[in-house]
Each structure stands twice: as C-alpha cells, then as structure tokens.
Structure 1
Amino acid sequence: MFVKMRWTATHTCAVIALAAMSFGVPTTPAKAQVTAYKQAVAEAAAQDDEVAAFYRQANYAPLWTGEGEVFTARRAALMAALADVDKHGLPASRYDAAGLLNKMKAAHTTRDIGMVEVALSLAFLHYAHDISSGILVPSQIDAGILREVPRRDGTELLKGLSTNNPRAYFASLAPHNPEYRELMKEKIRFERLIAAGGWGPTVPANSLKPGDSGDAVVAMRNRLIAMGYMERSVSRDYDAALEEAVRVFQHAHGLLEDGVAGAGTVDEINISADDRLKSIVVALERERWMNIPRGKRHILVNMTDFTAKIIDDGRVTFETRSVIGMDQGDRRSPEFSDEMEHMIINPSWHVPRSIIVKEYLPQLQNNPNAARHLIITDSRGRRVDRANMDFTQFSTRNFPFDMRQAPGDANALGKVKFMFPNANNIYLHDTPAKNLFSREVRAYSHGCIRLADPFDFAYALLAVQTEDPQSFFQNILKSGRETKVDLEQHVPVHLIYRTAEIDARGRTEFRRDVYGRDGKIWDALQRAGVALPSVQG
C-alpha cells in the first residue's frame, strides 16, 4: 500500500509506519557487513564536514538505521516533522520527504543502508537548521538587515538527537517564545479564513466619515464585522458603533485613532487576508532569525510600529513613541541586536562623516558661515577659523575636518543619548523636534532612533541601580556638563522590523511595510517554495 502512496501531510500516519520499517540489519552483524556499512557511511558523510565529524566520533555507529525502538522512534520523529513543516510556514518541497521514503524502501544491501543512514542525517540537519534559524540569509535579502542568525553546530545537533527522546528533541528545535507559537496559530486561522472566502468585498470609496451612508459604508461595516472588529449590524449609516469599530481597527494597525476612515485607513481595511497571511509567514521566518535569548530585561524597538519598549520578564514595563530613519538610501534604520552600555546626559552631537560631506560641505562651499551651530575642528581638536578657510578646495573624499554641536536646547540629540556601541553608529536619543511624534508615519531621522519620552526612558533604566533615578538624572542634566553614566547591568537592545505582531489577546496586529523589507522577504520565501491559498478577500 505504501508504494502507491503520495506524500502529503494527510498521510502522516502511513508515512511514519513506513519509517518504522526494519532495515534488516542484524544487531550484531558479521564483520564484513560492519565494514561495508562503515565504508558506505564514511563515503556518504564526506559531503558534509559536520556530518562526517559526527560519524567519526561515533565510530560510524548507526543513528537511524539500527534495529530497536529508539531507531524506529527517530525515523518516525523525522518523518512526522517533515510532514508538518507547512505549519511553520516552511515549504514541504524543500525536504523531498518522498524521495527519502523511497530510499528507505529501496535499501536492501548493507551499502544501501549506509547511504540511507547518512541521507537521514542530512535531511535532519537541513530541517533542524531551517526550523531553528530560518531558510533565508537576512543580509542577502536587504542590506539593512544586519541580524546575525544563530546557526547551531550540526555535529552537536546530531549528538543531541542521539542522547535525547526523539519527539521531545524535535519539539525543542523551533523557537520557544510565545510569539512564535501564537503566530503559528494565527497562520492556521488565516488559512481557514482564506479557504472560506476571506473578508468579502473591499470598500469602494477613497474615504468615509461619521454621518455618511450608503453602499460603501455597508461594505466597510461588513468587512469590519468579518474581521472581528464590531458586532453584527444592519445599519447603512456611519454611526457611533461603526466609528468605534474603525477606531479599534486603527489601534490594531498603528493608525491615527480618530474614528474617521481616511484614505490610509481605507487602504488598510482593503488589504486582503492573503497579504496579511504573508506578513504572518514572514514574521515566523523573522522569529527564527531571532531564536536567541532576548534577555530577562531588554529593549525592543519595532521600526514599523514606531515604538521603543523596555521588557522585563516578558512584560512591557515602559513604552514610548519613536522616530526611525527616513525611507531613503542609507538613512533607513538597520536591524540588529547589541547591548546598551551607557547613556550620555547633555551630549555633544558629533556629526557623522556621511552627513558632513553630503549635507554640510556643500553649504560651507557656498557660504563659510553656514551651519553656525556646528563647531568645526581639525584632527588635533583645534577650532577652525571659518573666515580664513576656503572650503571649495575640499571634496567629499578629502574633507579633513570634524564637526560637532555643543550640548544645549537646540542640540540634534536633545538632552540625552543611549549608547550600545556598534559599527553602524546607531543609538537611541532625545530630539528637539517633538512635533514629529504626533505623526502617524514617523520615518524622518538619519538612521538613529529618536524617543518621545527620553527622560522617562532614562529613569526606567536607572531605577535598577539608584534609589531616586529622577533626581540623579536631573541633577546631572541641570549641570549642563556632558556626562557619561554607565549602566551597571548592560541591557540587550533589539532593533526589529515586524509588520505582524501578536497582541495581549492573542490576535495579530499589523503594520505598514515602511521600508519594503517584508515584501522582499516574502518574494524570497516564494522562490524557496512557500505558497499560500489563493482566495483573495
């Protein structure tokens, strides 16, 4: 019966039964058989250094193809895992489980079994790396994704399987944070939703407001009902109930919560369930890239949400609005993780060289007195006399000076900056441009992250090392002196980019793809074989 069976998830039980077959290798084979088996394993394993190292260390003993319950359990666990990859947003076509089954079924000689042994180990490592670290290389998708993906050593993975319960060990490979598990649940929910037809017709209007009525209002009402943002209604009017539903929708999508369905809100309401599911699948891949300890206390900056949060023991204890880099060239904020080490109160702004030569040098060439708020210094730190300097003699390549802005109310960094020294020269800081925090889309900086409430952020960080963090901070601030304050315990910082996140109720909230990065990731996932249901709505 297994010969004619097609490989699909619905045949999992039968597949596992086939994986449980006996390979006919005696528990204590003759010396010739042992030699042939080891030679076959050594030959096949040579194609992968980690697999070869594992078998050398194990003296070429079988991990999969021996006889007994433990070997059967390992094979069954592998085939069950490969049957379920779609639940994780991974493509089943990537693992050729059917081909693996055919190899097992066709193994008759000792050499055949040795080859199958290694094929199973290679399939296991392929799966284990994908499920724990993702199938894409972030830096190959977008230059701004600088995340270092944690790839586990293959030899150690195989050793772990050899010494642990197979089912439990396979279950331990995927990310174990609650976000990943909830995203998997939402993926299933959206797939069922799409199979049932999605959310129905889109809203045939550019914008709607309270007091409006007619077919477009009915379409928006029905769509919000289907999405779960309001109770059933037969009203054709943009009444108080619909206004509140719009406001709830806006909250869940990072929009201005005014209850008015402007063009931006209508656009978001009209996004299909298919496209939302793509965001969830991309989020699963991103979570695999971040399959690392986040830190008992850590700082989380989600660029698409324009927020910065302090997380303690998995709970948000502080949150503030943020401004990220503008969607332009090298100004887009990069994604990476680091550790915050200190803050600088009353900071000077040392202008990055890219800004000096691209923005300020042309101004100085036109007028030596331009940008008077900045101090120009030479390589020895001596102030440059603008009146006696011909800036036209310099180019972007040979401009020899530094520029800085002294501490003060107009300083570009505001009154405090938070440092996690990195090669990208990215940090969190205050800003005098407070008006930007009231905007819906907040992508205006040169790449660093601006905070709406930097003083409260500082108090929260200092609270673990001083009894009165506010007085401590304010006393330094009032001195006007540039002061470095070390954090006694460094705090992990994670700059992330997530267009799909799980809220406290276990439902997905969505954000705009500000830099288009998630679109690039989805395209790469499609090329790798990921596919979704095709019902639009």
Structure 2
Amino acid sequence: MGMMFVHWRFFDLNLRILAPAIVAVSLILPTAIAAQVTAFRQAVAEAAARDDDLAAFYRDRNFEGIWTGSDEQAQERRNTFLTVLDGTDAHGLPPERYNTSNVMAMLREARTPEQQGKVEVELSRLLLQYARDVQSGILVPGNVDELIKREVAYRDRLETIEEFAAANAGTFLRALPPSSPEYSRLMREKIELEAGLLNGGWGPRVNGRKLELGDSGQAVVALRNRLISMGYLPRTASQTYDEALEMAVRKFQEMHGLEVDGTAGEGTLEQINVSMERRLQSVLVAMERERWINHEKGDRHIWVNLTDFTARIVDNDVVTFQTRSVIGANDADRQSPEFSDVMEFMVINPSWYVPRSIMTKEYLPQLQRNPNAVRHLEITDRRGRVVNRANVDFTQFTRRNFPFSMRQPPSRSNALGLVKFMFPNQYNIYLHDTPAKNLFSRETRAYSHGCIRLNDPFDFAYELLALQEVDPEGFFQAKLGTGRENRVDLEQPVPVHLVYRTAFTDALGNLQFRRDVYGRDARVWQALAREGVAISAVQG
C-alpha cells in the first residue's frame, strides 16, 4: 500500500485558522468556532468512552486531540504513524489487523468536528493496538498451549499513549519493537526467505532414503541442487556424492541439530525436504516468541532452548558455557514447560524427593504388586519417619489418598545425580545431573519427567561459582567429597529462561532450525494464521 501523507484542512485545537477564507469569518464568528471545538471534544469524549485508558487520557487533557490539526507536531504524528502501519508486515504482523485503508478513508472524509473527533480516537486506538502487538506479541502464550507459561510484560496502555504524546513520534515508535540482536537478525532472515519464495524456493524435493559418499544418480543431483540453493554448497556440476557434497551435508546437519556424519540418511533428507514456506513460518513464530520475552534477560543468564537440547550460560550476549541437555519426554504430562525464573542456589549431593505425580502414577502400582519394589527409595510418613514396608498394605491406597512421601538419599545412583540447580517455581522444574549419561549421545533427547538434565553438570557448576569462589572447582569438589547434602547459594542469582525456538540465529548470525519436538510451534503458527498472519508467496 502506498503511503498518503495527510494534511488537515480544518481547525486545530489551539484555535488557529488554517484557510484564509475562514480567517475573516473567524474574526466575526468566534461563537461558531467555539461550537466547533465543543463538538470536536464531545465527539472525542463519546468515541473514547468505550476504552477506559483512552477515556482517562483524553479527560486529563480536556479532550484535546494529539493527531488532529495542521500544526507541525500533529502532522508529524499522523504521517510517521501511518508510515509505520504501512510496514507492519516487516514484523510479521497482519496489516489487516490495523485496517489502515479504513483510517485513511476516515481522514480523507473528516469534514466535520464530529468526524474529526472520531478519527482522532481511532488513531489513538490503533497506536495502542500496534504498540501492544509489536512490543509484546499478538498472541497470549498460554492460550496457544497450556505449557507455555510465559508471563508477558505488557506495557501500561495509559502510560503508552501519554509517553507518545510527550515524545518525538519517530523516536517513540522505533523503540517499540524488541531491540535484541536476535529479533533484528530474524527480521533480516524473514526478508531473505520471502525473496527466495518469490524466486521459486529451493527447487525439487530429494527422493531416496539414504545417500552417501560415492553415490550418483538423479537423487544426488537433486540433493546437490537443493544444497546449492540453500547456500551450503558452491555451484558445481558434479553428479556424484563427492567430498564437497559430503561437507555441505555436514554443514546442513550442524545447522539443523542433526547427527553430523556427512551421510544424507532418512532424518537428514526429511529436514532437507522441509519447504521454504515452512521454514519461513518458523521464523515468523520465532519473531512472535521474541516479542513475548521483550525485556532484559540479564547480563548473565541461562538460556535453555528445549528444541536444541542445550543449556547455555550467556554473559553480555556471549555464550561462555554450553552443554547438552535432556528435556521432558513427548507425553502430555512429561513435557518441559516454558517460563523464566531466577536461579538462587545449587544443591550438591542432593536427595531426590519424588514428585507426587511420579510417586502415585508410577511407583504406587509397583508397590501394590510388590511392597519391596523400588528399594532405592525411602518411604516416609508425614513426620519424615522411614516407614517399614512390611507393615503397610499398599493395595488400600489410591492416587488420591496415598499418605506417604518418597525420597532417594544422596548417592551416585541418585536420579538427580550429584548436583541440582534450583530456581524455585510452581512447576517443580530445575536443572540437574543424571546417572543416565548414555542419553546425551542421542540426536533427539526428550526422556525426562520435565526437568532439564545436563551432560556436564560439574563444569556448569564451576562456571556459576567462578563469580564468587577463587577456586570454584576445589570448592565444589570439597562439598561433594563430604557425601552430605550441601546447599550453596549464588551470591548473584542468575535469570533462567526455558525457551522453545525451532528457528534461531547463532553467534555468527547464521540461521539455524530445529525439529518441532512437542508440536508447539505448529500450534503457534496456526494461532498466528487465525489472526491474519500469512505468507503470500507459497512455493517449495
């Protein structure tokens, strides 16, 4: 849509007269002008009455406008804001949501004070809508998926319009979207993918179940051409699976979180054949997710991307430590939730206090069949006393009335391993060690009951302790060597962000993709599509 710059041709609210013909009349008919101003203010009051924040804003300024009039500031506000609305698609926002054609028509047709009052309030309403959308997202995360526990920081609407009225319009509007480097890079990738779609996408799909070094044929040619289009392989005429193609496959695998072996097996080919349209959808979802977390993440913070199966410590936007992770299994009651909190302490040689859901769903049936089952766990009563299993008839209990607790004392076989990292939260989720080290070698690592298991928990602890201990490793090992449960507080608590990104950029700005392990991003995209977000060019 082309941009129309709007110049108001009637009165402004300082009673300056804008047309020479009206000047003479105004000197004779001040009562008529006063009536116009009164009519305008009445129209503003009536239009704003349906919105408590707008009603309060205009009431505080005696129902004077901020958009109407031909003074330079009002013109700048109108034209700057309308230009911004004309570019909402750059942020992956649906232009129809703001109905700019309707507001342009209202501006053109506003001949009376009543019409001008209505368009005044409509512009303010659109400003608040756009500000909320571009700053905090157009979806309510928990309405999309109940395990997206993200608490979005919404800006106060009344403060927003008050600050806009007092600020330079361009400066204010430019500051609304997320300022993170990730958001800017995702916007750039969005533009490139859209251009690629218009040029035909990545070409034909690659057929076959497995292609490897030395192979030749049409499938190899299709793989070669698709990787060239994707930018993983320089242009070549080779029709065999040579070392250059193997290296391109390795790079693709690395950028998509796959096992890096240089062989285009079934899993790799599946990801290579994902369409450019679907990849663009993932980027648009990632932009919406970045708006949900549009606040300071912490100079030092922990970033756990569930789809990437990694946990990172980030200092001033630089990843200073990274380890593989295992996340919750893809069952309805075991998936890891998404939320942010603050890590306050770690526990060395932890006891595992079995969550009630696991205790009653998994262990109670075993105890009912055999009271001596799960002997590695202590059964305790309400006072914390160990219960003699031989004196208990477990068959009399159900999930609802099971009266005991269960605990695994510290040991190397403890389900939590030898250290856990606590950010107390209502979901009972934390990061911890595990004796099941074999799971970290797998490509997809969704096996836990919801908590995040770390492949290198000791090194993770050393990195956290480095800010408060001269010898973090020695300090940790001394506590570990006691065999007793030890709580170590972090002198500087660290924000923790459990996120879910199937599209993200790395430190070099390269776009990476991951599988939608829980199907959440598919649900986010469906919700965005219902709100009007669309991809106009649809090709492979």
Query: Is residue 334 of structure 2 the alignment partner of residue 331 of structure 1?
Result: yes
Query: Is residue 90 of structure 2 the alignment partner of residue 87 of structure 1?
Result: yes
| Contact 1:210-1:238 within 8 A present in 2 as well | yes
Please show how residues 163-312 of structure 1 align to structure 2 within 5 Å.
163-312=166-315
Aligned AA (2:8): M
Using the TM superposition, give the Cα deviation of residue 498 of structure 1 relative to its aligned residue in structure 2, in angstroms. 0.2
Partner of 1:494, secondary structure, is strand
Separation (CA, whole Å) in 1 of partners of 2:401 and 2:365: 13
Q: How many residues align?
A: 524
Please show how residues 395-406 of structure 1 align to structure 2 within 5 Å.
395-406=398-409
| Contact 2:110-2:116 within 8 A present in 1 as well | yes
Aligned AA (2:370): N
The equivalent residue for 2:353 is: 350
Alpha carbons of structure 1 residues 114 and 535: separation in structure 2 relative to 1, 3 Å: closer
Aligned AA (2:454): L
Separation (CA, whole Å) in 1 of partners of 2:402 and 2:59: 58
| Contact 1:23-1:113 within 8 A present in 2 as well | no
Separation (CA, whole Å) in 1 of partners of 2:314 and 2:355: 30
The equivalent residue for 2:386 is: 383
The equivalent residue for 1:3 is: none
| Contact 1:427-1:449 within 8 A present in 2 as well | yes
Gapped runs of 5+ residues in structure 2?
Answer: 17-32
| Contact 2:351-2:408 within 8 A present in 1 as well | yes
Separation (CA, whole Å) in 1 of partners of 2:61 and 2:158: 11
Using the TM superposition, give the Cα deviation of residue 31 of structure 1 relative to its aligned residue in structure 2, in angstroms. 3.3
Alpha carbons of structure 1 residues 431 and 238: separation in structure 2 relative to 1, 3 Å: same
Partner of 1:193, secondary structure, is helix
The equivalent residue for 1:66 is: 69
Using the TM superposition, give the Cα deviation of residue 23 of structure 1 relative to its aligned residue in structure 2, in angstroms. 4.1
Aligned AA (1:27): N
Separation (CA, whole Å) in 2 of partners of 1:509 and 1:23: 54
Please show how residues 353-502 of structure 1 align to structure 2 within 5 Å.
353-502=356-505
The equivalent residue for 1:24 is: 11
Alpha carbons of structure 1 residues 397 and 301: separation in structure 2 relative to 1, 3 Å: same
Alpha carbons of structure 1 residues 381 and 500: separation in structure 2 relative to 1, 3 Å: same
Separation (CA, whole Å) in 2 of partners of 1:201 and 1:75: 47
Using the TM superposition, give the Cα deviation of residue 42 of structure 1 relative to its aligned residue in structure 2, in angstroms. 1.4
| Contact 1:25-1:110 within 8 A present in 2 as well | no
Using the TM superposition, give the Cα deviation of residue 32 of structure 1 relative to its aligned residue in structure 2, in angstroms. 2.7
Separation (CA, whole Å) in 2 of partners of 1:102 and 1:346: 69
Separation (CA, whole Å) in 2 of partners of 1:360 and 1:535: 51
Gapped runs of 5+ residues in structure 1?
Answer: 1-7
Aligned AA (1:475): A
Give CA deviations for 1:451-489 in whole Å, capped at 9, x if unaligned.
Answer: 000000001101001111000000000001101100011
Query: Is residue 539 of structure 2 the alignment partner of residue 536 of structure 1?
Result: yes
Aligned AA (1:360): Y
| Contact 2:8-2:70 within 8 A present in 1 as well | no
Alpha carbons of structure 1 residues 23 and 440: separation in structure 2 relative to 1, 3 Å: farther
Using the TM superposition, give the Cα deviation of residue 423 of structure 1 relative to its aligned residue in structure 2, in angstroms. 0.4
Separation (CA, whole Å) in 1 of partners of 2:403 and 2:259: 46
| Contact 2:8-2:69 within 8 A present in 1 as well | no
What is the RMSD computed on CA atoms of the aligned residues? 1.0
The equivalent residue for 2:146 is: 143
Aligned AA (1:278): Q
Aligned AA (2:141): P
Query: Is residue 85 of structure 2 the alignment partner of residue 98 of structure 1?
Result: no
Q: Percent identity?
A: 59
| Contact 2:341-2:495 within 8 A present in 1 as well | yes
Aligned AA (2:429): I
Aligned AA (1:473): F
Separation (CA, whole Å) in 2 of partners of 1:241 and 1:396: 59
| Contact 1:199-1:226 within 8 A present in 2 as well | yes
Aligned AA (1:20): H
Separation (CA, whole Å) in 2 of partners of 1:460 and 1:160: 42
Partner of 1:86, secondary structure, is helix
Alpha carbons of structure 1 residues 23 and 418: separation in structure 2 relative to 1, 3 Å: farther
Partner of 1:329, secondary structure, is coil
Separation (CA, whole Å) in 2 of partners of 1:413 and 1:275: 38
Tell me whether 54-63 or 166-175 shows the greater mean CA deviation. Answer: 54-63
Using the TM superposition, give the Cα deviation of residue 380 of structure 1 relative to its aligned residue in structure 2, in angstroms. 0.6
| Contact 1:23-1:107 within 8 A present in 2 as well | no
Separation (CA, whole Å) in 2 of partners of 1:412 and 1:146: 26
The equivalent residue for 2:136 is: 133
Using the TM superposition, give the Cα deviation of residue 55 of structure 1 relative to its aligned residue in structure 2, in angstroms. 1.3
Tell me whether 362-371 or 505-514 shows the greater mean CA deviation. Answer: 505-514
Partner of 2:203, secondary structure, is coil
Tell me the TM-score normalized by structure 2.
Answer: 0.96
Please show how residues 501-520 of structure 1 align to structure 2 within 5 Å.
501-520=504-523
Please show how residues 315-330 of structure 1 align to structure 2 within 5 Å.
315-330=318-333
Aligned AA (2:15): T
Separation (CA, whole Å) in 1 of partners of 2:466 and 2:508: 29
Aligned AA (2:116): I
Tell me the TM-score normalized by structure 1.
Answer: 0.96
Tell me whether 501-510 or 77-86 shows the greater mean CA deviation. Answer: 501-510
Aligned AA (1:215): Q
Aligned AA (2:96): S
Aligned AA (1:331): R
Using the TM superposition, give the Cα deviation of residue 63 of structure 1 relative to its aligned residue in structure 2, in angstroms. 1.1
Partner of 1:304, secondary structure, is helix
Give CA deviations for 1:386-424 in whole Å, capped at 9, x if unaligned.
Answer: 011000000011001000100001000000000000000
Alpha carbons of structure 1 residues 163 and 464: separation in structure 2 relative to 1, 3 Å: same
Aligned AA (2:50): Q
Partner of 1:338, secondary structure, is strand
Give CA deviations for 1:466-518 in whole Å, capped at 9, x if unaligned.
Answer: 11100000000000110110001110000000000012332210000000000
Separation (CA, whole Å) in 2 of partners of 1:297 and 1:26: 50
Alpha carbons of structure 1 residues 358 and 26: separation in structure 2 relative to 1, 3 Å: closer
Using the TM superposition, give the Cα deviation of residue 112 of structure 1 relative to its aligned residue in structure 2, in angstroms. 1.5
